[in-house]
Structure 1
């Protein structure tokens, strides 16, 4: 990338040209948003995240000193979906994710996580531990009659044995929720840290709790819904909730998750039509960048 100004960076993630095959770390966009319950438009999220990632190409990660742009990363473009057909889209996503060793998915709505977890369960032969940043628990049994709406992802993931709920932690929760949904989630063994918990506990205590819950022995998946951030830091999302985390808080947490055996991640619910100056897209791109830097450091 030497000599190429930021504004002229190639359109793939971190300036990668698009590839027909995966690599050690494979980036794919999943432009699905037909299961959302409020603002639509997250189908444009992958492209916006890629464009914002141009800000992260020129130099090493200042915490890990990892040259993320030099890591073995391939951007394979967008997954195929079935327009207007949610169950078929989920099946297509699972099929396309299955052969990819370490997938980093750019959403799209949070519904994409369910087929990605299904693919991991089939490949690994066991449920994964889960670190889940979000404003919402996403454990409703349906969303306004839609069984596979984006707020039902982890209801299905738990019931299908895709995740071990005793090794699942949700961070940033603060939306309105029926008490029976909350009680069901806790009753499955899930640990919930509300946004207020994060503010009160501080980063070090949150990190300690994450490590305590997920441990180091179970393959672990990271799912990051940008609405975990306060709308001041992420206005471009479909279901914003006030009182959320600041960008620096999630960055500080992510950078302290060394030793966890990550097997994949996604960042979801970026909605460019409601974004301001790309701040939401840049936050999402930076989450992926921090994740890759963490893995690059761990593998060094």
Structure 2
């Protein structure tokens, strides 16, 4: 079936404008533009081909990009992560068949584009992120963020804690990101959670780090986290097993308080996600990544991010595709999402 030019103009205008619940009379929620309406190789590359909004007015959740890589210590390229994740997300459909989650029949969701960043000044970029996210969450909208390197989580947590107070943290990563400095600098992708602890942004008794591994600078590389009450689950404790039992324990640890999820794509083994800046062998499988996020269902999740996708090292596109699917899984476990199963 061919669509007329006038139909397509009207459809695109409806999909890509400043959207709120008040804009819609004929339907309650936004839904992704399906492959039955426009070929998946066409259309504007928003997250899952959702409508693009210029604010979070009327939104329950939003996808947002933070395109930076100047906090990276090794291979750059994550500034292109949000764009490539959006491009890969065209193959993600609107219902989670496995879990029964129907997020687009439950929440008003849109893609709000990217945060303004200063590629020549990392502290200024962090200021912009903090101020932008404070506005995003002001009315209760839950941000699902595509990075960008892991520096972005620090200013996001500043904004989140400013609204909700200290939050619990489910941190999935190959690295603890609790260094004091990197090349003498306090702000970098390996210092985010140390700064968050110092500023009281985290409820440290409700923090878990999953998937940590690799060589280090000493046998006590995770001492800072342990001294501050974090639960650390090294990758070796995840090998050859389902992580669903672990996540039942994590859910109990998180309780009813607000929780933030931060998923560094390098938590996955580079066999599954090669397109990242600091890969470490012996990581989680894609299936275990799904288990971790699905295990967050029922938590009071107030925000989440997926970081460190570096398209220049992602020659097959599998890393960006995995990132897009993990962001969808994050959406599926938000409070208020209905399940058909």
Same fold (TM over 0.5): yes
Larger Rg belongs to: 2
**Is the CA contact (8 Å cut-off) linking 2:242 and 2:291 kept in structure 1?**
no
For structure 1, which segment, 65-74 or 9-18, has the greater mean C-alpha deviation from structure 2 after superposition? 65-74
Q: How does 1:76-87 map to 2 (within 5 A)?
A: 76-87=112-123
What's the counterpart of residue 144 of structure 2? 104
What's the counterpart of residue 48 of structure 2? 14
1:44 is aligned to 2:84? no
TM-superposed CA distance for 1:257, in Å, is: 2.0
What's the counterpart of residue 237 of structure 1? 276
TM-superposed CA distance for 1:52, in Å, is: 0.8
Query: Structure 1 pair 179/156, CA: closer, same or farther in 2 (3 Å)?
Result: farther
Q: Secondary structure at the match of 2:232?
A: strand
TM-superposed CA distance for 1:296, in Å, is: 6.8
What's the counterpart of residue 251 of structure 1? 290
Q: Secondary structure at the match of 1:90?
A: helix
Q: Secondary structure at the match of 1:264?
A: strand
1:3 is aligned to 2:42? no
Query: Structure 1 pair 250/297, CA: closer, same or farther in 2 (3 Å)?
Result: farther
- Cα-to-partner distance string for 1:137-173 (whole Å, 9 max, x where unaligned): 0000011222101000000011110011110000000
TM-superposed CA distance for 1:197, in Å, is: 0.7
**Is the CA contact (8 Å cut-off) linking 1:9 and 1:54 kept in structure 2?**
no
Q: How does 1:205-220 map to 2 (within 5 A)?
A: 205-215=245-255, 217-220=256-259
- Cα-to-partner distance string for 1:67-126 (whole Å, 9 max, x where unaligned): 4455411111110012211111100100000022211111000000000000011112x1
Q: Secondary structure at the match of 2:229?
A: coil
What's the counterpart of residue 35 of structure 1? 71
Q: Secondary structure at the match of 1:45?
A: helix
The alignment covers a number of residue pairs equal to 297
For structure 1, which segment, 174-183 or 111-120, has the greater mean C-alpha deviation from structure 2 after superposition? 174-183
**Is the CA contact (8 Å cut-off) linking 1:68 and 1:296 kept in structure 2?**
no
What's the counterpart of residue 143 of structure 1? 182
**The structure with more helix, counted as a fraction of residues:** 1
What's the counterpart of residue 209 of structure 2? 170
**Is the CA contact (8 Å cut-off) linking 2:67 and 2:82 kept in structure 1?**
yes
What's the counterpart of residue 293 of structure 1? 332
For structure 1, which segment, 288-297 or 143-152, has the greater mean C-alpha deviation from structure 2 after superposition? 288-297
Q: Secondary structure at the match of 1:98?
A: helix
**Is the CA contact (8 Å cut-off) linking 2:117 and 2:128 kept in structure 1?**
yes
What's the counterpart of residue 182 of structure 1? 222
Query: What is the alpha-carbon distance in structure 2 between the residues aligned to residue 149 and residue 298 of structure 1?
Result: 34
TM-superposed CA distance for 1:299, in Å, is: 4.6
The alignment yields a C-alpha RMSD, in angstroms, of 1.6
**Is the CA contact (8 Å cut-off) linking 1:139 and 1:181 kept in structure 2?**
no
**Is the CA contact (8 Å cut-off) linking 2:144 and 2:331 kept in structure 1?**
no
Query: What is the alpha-carbon distance in structure 2 between the residues aligned to residue 297 and residue 228 of structure 1?
Result: 28
Query: What is the alpha-carbon distance in structure 1 between the residues aligned to residue 182 and residue 238 of structure 2?
Result: 27
TM-superposed CA distance for 1:207, in Å, is: 1.2
For structure 1, which segment, 192-201 or 84-93, has the greater mean C-alpha deviation from structure 2 after superposition? 192-201
TM-superposed CA distance for 1:294, in Å, is: 2.1
What's the counterpart of residue 96 of structure 2? 61
Query: What is the alpha-carbon distance in structure 2 between the residues aligned to residue 160 and residue 18 of structure 1?
Result: 34
What's the counterpart of residue 116 of structure 1? 156
For structure 1, which segment, 29-38 or 3-12, has the greater mean C-alpha deviation from structure 2 after superposition? 3-12
TM-score normalised by length of structure 2: 0.83
Structure 1's unaligned 5+ residue stretches are none
TM-superposed CA distance for 1:200, in Å, is: 5.2
Query: What is the alpha-carbon distance in structure 1 between the residues aligned to residue 49 and residue 102 of structure 2?
Result: 13
Q: Secondary structure at the match of 2:41?
A: helix
